[in-house]
Chain A
Amino acid sequence: MRAPNDYQQFRQKVDLMLDNALSQEARDEVMRTVNANPEYLALLKKERNFRDFVRNNVVRPKVTPEFIQSIKEKIKIN
């Protein structure tokens, strides 16, 4: 059974890695830990899927060419 403190510390490292806040050396260390522990691998996949799910599903209203043109015209006027 994993120790809760180890798990929490590893979660923090996963967050840092997925947020591109780790050095390459630190990333390699996280990946070695992940590859040696299926439970941590599942954790990494789950967190990565969550980030992907949010990024891919958030509403992104379209900007029309007319809107862009209106901004350009306002700049000329101002």
Chain B
Amino acid sequence: MSEKLPHPNGDLLFERELLPHIDALNTFAYHLTYNEEDAKDLVQETFLKAYRAIDSYVEGTNAKAWLFKILKNAYINQYRKKSRRPAQVDFEEFIGYQDQDESSISEYQDLREEIFENLLGDEVTVAINALPIDFRTVILLCDVEGFTYDEISKIIDIPIGTVRSRLHRARNMLKEKLKKYAESLGFTDKRTKYGADESE
């Protein structure tokens, strides 16, 4: 049996195209695992897997999306059972909702501008981490990391229409959570259903 030869530019590719994404991967991993140690383990495993599979990576293509997909798969395969958070929900296994077609997108949550002034930054992380994992994931990939619908579709293996509808629901849920935090700090939202101030 012949041994696989190392990629001739593997180390260079690794340093130049993969490692620059380590901060983004670590942020994603942190919000999947809820703690820094598990996140580091997941990031390390992602880079080891990426290095072993570097033959399948085409230089100059979308390294960030490729790495995020590896990390997501590594998380599903190995980390979900080891998570220190007992109530964690698995990818694609959350029973409490069903993905809807994008044509079903209708109601929108709106937040008043004043809410942002009443919230501390930490509450964003708390609110994101309180979302079920499928919703948390699309918020992190789209709103935090700036991936396109097409890239998200490929990273988490769902149709683009589902990405859109899931993002819509995730943002509504996030706004609702942030609104509740603001209300707990004494802020009251007195708007009508469609977001206009009653005084308008």
A55 and B44 within 8 A (CB): no
B82 to A: closest C-beta gap in Å:
19
Question: Complex formed: what's the CA distance from A77 to B110 in Å?
Answer: 52
Does A27 count as interface, using CB distance less than 8 angstroms? no
Number of contact residues on B: which range applies?
A: 35 or more
Determine the chain B residues whose CB is within 8 A of the CB of A60 once the complex forms.
23, 26-27, 30
Does B60 count as interface, using CB distance less than 8 angstroms? no
Determine the chain A residues whose CB is within 8 A of the CB of B111 once the complex forms.
46, 50
A70 and B128 within 8 A (CB): no
Determine the chain B residues whose CB is within 8 A of the CB of A7 once the complex forms.
194
Number of chain A residues close to chain B: CB under 8 A: 34
Question: Complex formed: what's the CA distance from A62 to B30 in Å?
Answer: 10
A59 and B125 within 8 A (CB): yes
* With A4-B194, A8-B108, A75-B48: A54-B30 Cβ-Cβ less than 8 Å: no
Which of A12, A19, A50, A63 lies in contact with B142, CB distance below 8 A? Answer: A19
B110 and A12 within 8 A (CB): no
A59 to B: closest C-beta gap in Å:
4
Question: Can you show 10 pairs from A to B with CB atoms below 8 A apart?
Answer: A39-B196, A49-B113, A57-B124, A58-B27, A60-B27, A61-B26, A61-B27, A63-B22, A71-B43, A75-B47
- What is B's interface to A at a CB cutoff of 8 Å? 14, 19, 22-23, 26-27, 30-31, 36, 39-40, 43-44, 47-48, 51-52, 105-108, 110-111, 113, 116, 119, 121-125, 128, 139-140, 142-144, 146, 148-149, 164, 167-168, 171, 174-175, 194-196
- What is A's interface to B at a CB cutoff of 8 Å? 2, 4, 7-8, 11-12, 15, 19-21, 39, 43, 46, 49-51, 53-63, 67-68, 70-71, 74-75, 78
